[in-house]
Amino acid sequence: MFTHENTGYETMGLKRIVKEELRFLKAIEKKYCLEIESLPKGYLNKYSVKGRTYLRVVSGTARKHLSMKKTADIEMARQLRRRRFLEKVVQTVSSDIDVLEDMLRRYSGFDPKEIFDGLNKAYHLPQGREKEVLPGFFPQKAAEMKTRSKSESMAALALELLGLEAQYEREILLEGKAFRPDFTIRHPETNELIYYEHFGMIDDPVYYRNMIEKLMIYWRSGIRLGENLIVTFETKDHPLTAEAVMNELERFFGRRAL
């Protein structure tokens, strides 16, 4: 069962990416629409007379021949070229904005924690455990892990997809202190216990210092990066993605999703 701990961080997902793209596109649309208003109206048109090609400005019913030898006419042509370019940009951007806004209205997004929390309370069972595989190690299914954030729920699902046995927040004693790594994982080939920690607020100075202190204790206790410790990180601007979790686990265990 999933529970929630509010870290104040919005987890990166398709919605956030789309919202950022929308802000960018709307800024372009606004800026270029204003510039279009400042440019001369009309468009450029090439025409031929007796085998010779000429350039003219068409604006409504008016026609004006341009001479590429006159500075004023050259500048007029450049401004009209700029106007046409911006009109095409705005047309494309406006269409993209409509598509993205429609997608946001229709797209709910995949959040396993949110889905589980939305289930009828009858399904919110006490945290379960399977049989004891190793001393003190009771592997759990993703839905049985009381994860505290969406990032942890993504990690729990990734472990399950890779067919890895894991236990959430299994207590260990290091230097006389109790620690609960996010996940304890049984290595499928060696039976060694591997620890996985996710650090979700490393741009917070206090959180960062606590993380370093924890990792130093882990190191002195024989729990070391690249050997029997996996870590992932996120910040407010660079939240964790499911792809990052899968890549890290696949690289460490050398296996693909089942």
Q: Are 41 and 82 in contact (CB under 8 A)?
A: no
Is the pTM for the entire model greater than 0.85? no
- How high is the pLDDT of residue 129? 54
Given 3.40.1160.10, 3.40.1350.10, 3.30.420.10, 3.40.220.10, which CATH number is that of 112-253?
A: 3.40.1350.10
CA distance 56 to 80: 11
Place of tokens 């399904």: 123
pLDDT averaged over 10-residue windows placed end to end, the chain, 258 residues: 37 70 93 94 81 78 78 87 92 95 82 72 63 74 78 87 90 94 93 94 91 94 93 86 87 76
- How high is the pLDDT of residue 101? 93
Strands 52-59 and 193-199: unpaired
- How high is the pLDDT of residue 111? 67
Do 14-106 and 112-253 show the same overall fold? no
Given 2.30.30, 1.10.287, 3.90.320, 3.30.2000, which CATH number is that of 14-106?
A: 1.10.287
- How high is the pLDDT of residue 4? 37
Three-state secondary structure call for residue 197:
strand
- How high is the pLDDT of residue 231? 94
Please report the sign of the dihedral spanned by the C-alpha atoms of residue 58, residue 59, residue 62, residue 64. negative
- How high is the pLDDT of residue 10? 40
In the chain, domain spans? 14-106, 112-253
- How high is the pLDDT of residue 12? 46
